[in-house]
Chain A
Amino acid sequence: METLTKSDFNIDRSTGDFRYDVDYAFDAGTGLTEKTIDFICDVKKDPDWVRAFRKEALRKFESMPMPTHWASHDLENIVFDNIRYYLSQGTEPKRSWDDVPEDVKRTFERLGIPEQERKFLAGVEAQFDSEAAYSNIKAAVGEQGVIFVGSAEGLREHPEIFRKWFGKVIPTGDNKFSALNSAVFSGGSFIYVPPGVKVKHPLQAYFRINAENFGQFERTLIIVDEGAELTYMEGCTAPKFETATLHSAVVELVALKGAKIQYITVQNWSANVFNLVTKRGLAHEEAEVKWIDCNIGSRLTMKYPGVVMKGRKARGEVISIALAGDGQHQDTGAKMVHAADDTTSNIVSKSISVGSGRSTYRGLVQIGRHLKGCKNNTECDALLINTQSRTDTYPAITVRGKENACQHEASVSKISAEQIFYMQQRGISKGAAMSLAVNGFVNDLVQQFPMEYSVELKRLIDMEMEGSVG
């Protein structure tokens, strides 16, 4: 067990909080009109169907109201006209590390990407602003027939697979922000795993934002064919800016019969980012989709990873950790749609609110009529650190059919004074004791993250806890 004192975990908090001037070769300017879409299409040499798709999405985006009848009114502070919807240094992903420009490389080096590479991670797809600036798949993975490319390359080179599933899991009009993403998307990953291939190492992508007032709209589509398995990891850090930035991704997962997908996210955007993400997986017969989601950064995150279980015995799972510090609102949760017999889902959510932070759990569980043997289990626990901290829970559960079962439990608590006192008696500072208690609260979930991530997570929690003790 760690017995760190406060000074011991005085980590350099400026890591990930820096920016370099980058010469943006392609810049669509601010604001969003049909012209912006044409500009993006021209630069990216999009096929006509993509251009039509984007324009249709723009119309949907413009016609849909902000969802403030249920969501935070903070959304009203997003000024869409002040946002740059596209900029890129070049649209071709760089294949080898040597091709990556020096200043960009410096940014990545501080994020530790080369180190991750050394840790036997199968491939690295690092998104720098809109486009993948660096992309490499280990030969072994490529030989197995796994396709791991940027989404732009995916739709150009593999249209037969890409078009079949693109926009099918999350329709353009699913919500206002998925419509926005569909209009201006660039970057993100496209992965296809052939039948029976079990990708041993997790594939990994890093996302960063590095332009003031710049929204990032990556689009990820992952298809895992019958009996295949994949783990995908996504980690985010972003430099701080003076004005708010917008990040609105769409991630679609398709697990065909008997396939398994695990999608892991550690989100640590800086505290001025609006992070409005739509993530959903489609699980066919006996397939399993598992979202492991950790939200630490951003100003406002709205993210409810979902699984649509459309095949018999499909399984969905969401493991969620949220940490809301001063001024932050982590509005996260899960959606489980049971659409076939004997499907099971599990949601475990833990949130921690520190200072004036607010964490919200929003959940949706649906079990359709005439289904049998479906089960859902939901647990959400919230921990409040300070008196002004806030937590909300808003689940919506519709379970039809008398051969289905569902249970939902939630609790809210604070760190027990006895625990802290006990540790202080043994010479552990109050700050370190609080960190230990918080880490203990989320420990069973953190265990589910790959090793590098769980270490990083513990460190991030320690950092967030600094100064939260009065």
Chain B
Amino acid sequence: MISHTPEDEAMLTGWPEWFLAEQAAAFAESTETPTPTRKDEAWRFASLAPLDLSRFGKAGSISNEGRLITASVGLERFAAKMVFGNNSLLLHDTGSLPPGVIFQPLECAAREHEALFRTYFMAQPVELGSHKYAALHKANLATGAFLYVPANTHISLPIEIFHWVEGANASMFPHTLIVCGENSHVTVVDSFRSADGAPALACGVNDLHLAPGARLTYVAVQDWSRDTVAFHINSTIVGAGAQATALSINFGGGFVRGESLSRLVGEGGRSEMFSINPVEGTREVDQRTLQDHVAPNASSDLLYLNALDDRSRTIFAGLIKVQPGAKGTDAYQKVRNLILSDDADPNSMPGLEILNDEVRCTHGATNGPVSEDELFYLQARGISRDVGRRLIVNGFFNALLERLESEPLRNHLIALVASKATASALHPSSRAEG
């Protein structure tokens, strides 16, 4: 499918030689690794037809870079910004970053900060089923964002990164690598967008590393076209006393496979894993998560919210793993499915593997419709069923967004979810009873 060779990339992006060799190996791995089948437990319930990627090819160049740069608007105030389109860098604005912060394209980081890059770049083995697609990503990687925040550095405004894809059946390989030094603070918003609504392949990796005491808030707002096949592979490594909050919002994509691994390697670390998924039409959002407690007294909290309309599908397969040494673990995992249509198909597999007795672990999964009582209450106050439903779905998601600490970020996302999620998840055409 992807016909270009790593050698082509050298001309375009200037990866160092050693990385090109790794890409060649990754290319071989991606072709040699078989496509997942029904027998793979990591792909249970997943639709396998979208995994035929043969129709996708190399992305061309962006037709109007200026238009995409202008459209790359998120929060009102931000510390720095990068914009990527079809695997190349369109804008690099380092704005008002404090000294010592490295915010540059990945291939530059590989050359200029080789030791850092080698330590953190795709350092975690892919454990949740998509190793074929991680290899595919690595083999085709052209550029991406690298952020290093030195120890004790606080960046108060968020850093924004935009990834655009354009052209029918184009392939996009977005990558974001964030390394937070000891006691540093930073917020990053990654946006994934389609320039033209054409079908595309997106195969992205984002890795977050938190040294002891660091605090990172990472938000991924995915809004690919409805015909996009998307893989998003994430790993978060949390050091002692550090706190990671990762939120992924999936507005788009026809078939979205998300894998999130959170590994608590330092005592007292905390990882929050949130996701908001309004799905409609025939879209499928397949999410696999792992909360891996290696160190003692760490906590993790996962909350995934799905609102399913029409014939949409969701798959949630989560696992809390408590390793033998992880005493004092406090882990929580919850998936909630709000069912808006008889044809929606939510699948939940919330799992636990506990190898230490001094733990507190709970998980839960709920499925339910919009409450008739709530709709009636709203109707009694002159709010139509349709608007009432919209309000309830909105409230369902907002409960999670309220947990974000930064007020501007919270307000921005609440507005975004209100405009996109409830509008699309509840298009009136699907409401038979009006």
Contact = CB atoms under 8 A, between A and B. Distances in A.
B41 A408 contact: no
A381 to B, nearest CB: 10
A444 to B, nearest CB: 19
A297 B362 CA distance: 27
Contact of A402 (B342, B349, B357, B362): B342
Given A391-B352, A396-B44, A402-B344, 5 more contacts: A70-B41, A369-B343, A395-B349, A396-B349, A413-B359
B366 interface: yes
B48 interface: no
Contacts of B361: 411-412
Contact of A406 (B41, B353, B357, B366): B366
A402 B366 contact: no
A393 B363 contact: yes
Contact residues on B (Cβ < 8 Å of other chain), bracket: 35 or more
Contacts, number: 126
Give 4 nearest A-B pairs by CB, closest first: A384-B357, A393-B352, A399-B367, A402-B369
Contacts of A369: 342-343, 345
Interface string A373-406: 0000000001011111111111111111111111
Contact of B362 (A389, A401, A409): A409
A412 B352 contact: yes
Interface string A399-439: 11111111111111110000000000000000000000000
A398 B347 contact: yes
A388 B324 contact: yes
B73 interface: no
Contacts of B368: 405-407
Interface string B349-383: 11111111111111111111110000000000000
Interface in A71-101: none
Contacts of B342: 369-370, 400-403
B228 interface: no
Given A387-B358, A410-B350, A399 B364 contact: no
A325 B345 CA distance: 39
A69 interface: yes
Contacts of A409: 362-364
A455 B358 CA distance: 30
Contacts of B347: 396-398
B353 A408 contact: no
B353 A392 contact: yes
Nearest to B40: A69
Contact of B354 (A382, A385, A399): A382
Given A385-B357, A399-B339, A414-B359, A407 B324 contact: no
A402 B352 contact: no
B56 to A, nearest CB: 29
6 contacts: A387-B356, A392-B352, A400-B345, A401-B342, A403-B369, A408-B350
B67 interface: no
Contacts of B343: 369, 400
B282 interface: no
Interface string B333-346: 00001011111111
Contacts of B358: 387, 414
A408 B355 contact: no
Nearest to B365: A408
Contact of A413 (B327, B344, B360): B360
Contacts of B78: none
Nearest to B356: A387
A340 B316 CA distance: 25
A407 B352 contact: no
A427 B367 CA distance: 48
A400 B314 CA distance: 11
A397 B370 CA distance: 19
B396 interface: no
A394 B351 contact: yes
Contacts of A401: 339, 342
A398 B359 contact: no
A414 B357 CA distance: 6
Nearest to A370: B342
A393 B322 CA distance: 12
